[in-house]
Structures are given as structure tokens and as C-alpha cells.
């Protein structure tokens, strides 16, 4: 079973007020930390989906060792960005139905390789579970692993329906993996979030 890491990174950082994925966090940028966590955990290929005008982000993602899918136009939501990345993976890497893909939004910089490896081990050890989601104190977080067999269903979702809704519709196929700390829940949206992250690294 292969796993392909998909990192949607095409957002506009409106609440942050500046490109949040390029912000320094420790010795790396936010985006570099996320790519590094996925790559060092043993994911076979890592794909970053970038906005049309994100020249600096494209350079950083490529240097960090990721494939980059550059959108030809802005997408309305993360699901649309993911579909573009998944289409690229399907065309270039030819996944089988029993392969999987790991979704980790680029604004989750405290997710580390240990968490990613735990998700992969859970997916490999529970063949009846075709979706694996980490949780902390009952709340679902990231990264999420899905079997490639779910791609057809995701593509059939109505416009405006997100991936979270799809996952909630497949409770019987989903394994929740409890994680002892809240890294799986933390995302970076605001200057206040960034200040908290700076204190953590």
C-alpha cells in the first residue's frame, strides 16, 4: 500500500493579513515544517497545491522536496484544491484502489512526523477502516488518511459540500485514533495563533 501526501496550500490568509505559510516558525517556514513532517514520516510522495500567484510558496515547496500543483485559477474552497491535487496524483502516479492519501492542510505546523507515522500504522493495521482520523478529547483533527477507493465518492459531492461532511457520512468505515496531545487540532489562522505557535517551537 502506498500513501500520497496531499497538502492544500492555496488559501488567501485573510485572517492573518499576510501569507501565513511563509512565516518563520523555528528554523523553518510554516510550509516547510508541514512538508518535512509528511516526508520524514515515510509518505511515498508529497504534493502541495498552490495558488496561481504563489511564486514564493512554490519555490519553498519545491526546495522542501514536494511536487507542486499550481492552480490555473483560484478555487472556491479546500475541497476544490484537493481535487486538483488528487487529479494530478492520479495522472502522474497512478494509485491503485488500495493505496491511500494523507490530507494535511498546510496551516497545521505543529503536526510532526510521529503523528503522521501513527496514522499510517493505524491505516495499515486496520484494513477494514478506509478512513483514519486523529482525535483529541473527542474532537477530530488532522492529518486524515483515506483509501484511494473514496475518490469517486468525493468527486460526486454536491457543490459546496466539504470533505468533513463526506467523512461524517462514512462513520462505519472510519477509525478514530486517539492522540494524547492537541497538536492534531492546532491550525494557524490569526496573528494570535502565530504568537502561540512561536511559544511552542
- CA–CA separation, 162 and 78 (whole Å): 8
CATH number at residue 181: 3.90.550.10
Map residue 74 onto helix, strand or coil.
coil
For residue 132, give its domain range: 3-185
Q: Return d(Cα 184, Cα 151) in angstroms, integer.
A: 23
Within a domain: 60 = yes
Cβ neighbours of residue 28 under 8 Å, at least 6 residues apart?
A: 36
Radius of gyration of the chain (CA): 16
Express each pLDDT in 39-97 by its tens digit.
999 998 999 999 999 999 999 999 999 999 999 999 989 999 999 999 999 999 999 98
- Give domain status of residue 124, yes or no: yes
What is the reported pLDDT for 12? Answer: 81
The answer to the question of residue 113 being in a domain is: yes
Closest CA to 81 of 180, 177, 154, 18: 154
Find the length of the chain.
Answer: 201
Amino acid at each position: 500500500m502506498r500513501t500520497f501526501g496531499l497538502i492544500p496550500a492555496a488559501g488567501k490568509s485573510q485572517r492573518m493579513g499576510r501569507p501565513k505559510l511563509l512565516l518563520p516558525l523555528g528554523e523553518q517556514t510554516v510550509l516547510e515544517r508541514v512538508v518535512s513532517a509528511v516526508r520524514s514520516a515515510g509518505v511515498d510522495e508529497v504534493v502541495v497545491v498552490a495558488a496561481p500567484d504563489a511564486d514564493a510558496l512554490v519555490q519553498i515547496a519545491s526546495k522542501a522536496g514536494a511536487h507542486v500543483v499550481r492552480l490555473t485559477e483560484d478555487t472556491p474552497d479546500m475541497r476544490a484544491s484537493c481535487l486538483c491535487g488528487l487529479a494530478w496524483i492520479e495522472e502522474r502516479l497512478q494509485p491503485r484502489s488500495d493505496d491511500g492519501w494523507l490530507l494535511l492542510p498546510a496551516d497545521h505546523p505543529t503536526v510532526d512526523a510521529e503523528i503522521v507515522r501513527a496514522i499510517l500504522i493505524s491505516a495499515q493495521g486496520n484494513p477494514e477502516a478506509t478512513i483514519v482520523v486523529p482525535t483529541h478529547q473527542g474532537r477530530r483533527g488532522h492529518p486524515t488518511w483515506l483509501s484511494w477507493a473514496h475518490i469517486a465518492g468525493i468527486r460526486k459531492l454536491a457543490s459546496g459540500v466539504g470533505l468533513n461532511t463526506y467523512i461524517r457520512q462514512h462513520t462505519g468505515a472510519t477509525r478514530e485514533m486517539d492522540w494524547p496531545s492537541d497538536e492534531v487540532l492546532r491550525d494557524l489562522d490569526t496573528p494570535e495563533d502565530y504568537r502561540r505557535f512561536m511559544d511552542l517551537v
